[in-house]
Chain A
């Protein structure tokens, strides 16, 4: 079975600081990788996704993530955060074979607070 680990459960940064949120998964086969964000009072929104190709993917709002297959990692980065980035961030994975056997497996989430 797949599992996803997000190492930082709570992160507090000041505006303009750089951000990196860690995500590691355990699955030996081909995977699709996602980062979702949940702003306060809003529903889950897709930030970015990786299916194949260039391992450095760019998403909305200046976020990017790098897939490192050898490390089973898909870390989320942003060079300069804003107060509006305060939210819960979820890393998720599912099988990339097309079978969609188990739906999305989510990490526990990282609660990011940006201080003005």
Chain B
């Protein structure tokens, strides 16, 4: 079974721009979660989608948003990019939701904001 895939793998943007990252979960998984990984803050939860609905949200500003499609694929959008948004963005999928199931992670998208 194919794992979680994320596109693109690398991205360079400038301050003020916006960016969209994509995640395809493992086949049959309906929950997709997003995390930000930085050297200073470590891994931090952004939000989780299940059946096209955002169920949970971490402590990030409204510039960070996401959505999930009927095929469970998910996108994450960051508007008005700041230098501090440079990070590895990880997507994880699970069968039924983070509270009851194991999350499997993708390789991440490395975002650099100049």
Q: A residues bordering B, Cβ < 8 Å?
A: 32, 34, 36, 42-46, 49, 90, 92, 94-109
Contact = CB atoms under 8 A, between A and B. Distances in A.
Interface of B: 31, 33, 35, 42-48, 55-56, 58, 90, 92, 97-100, 102-108
A9 to B, nearest CB: 11
Given A44-B90, A90-B43, A109-B42, A101 B104 contact: no
A103 B56 contact: yes
A92 B44 CA distance: 11
B42 A96 contact: no
A106 B99 contact: no
The 7 lowest CB-CB distance pairs between A and B, nearest first, are A100-B99, A103-B45, A100-B98, A106-B43, A44-B105, A43-B107, A100-B97
Contacts of A90: 43
A54 to B, nearest CB: 17
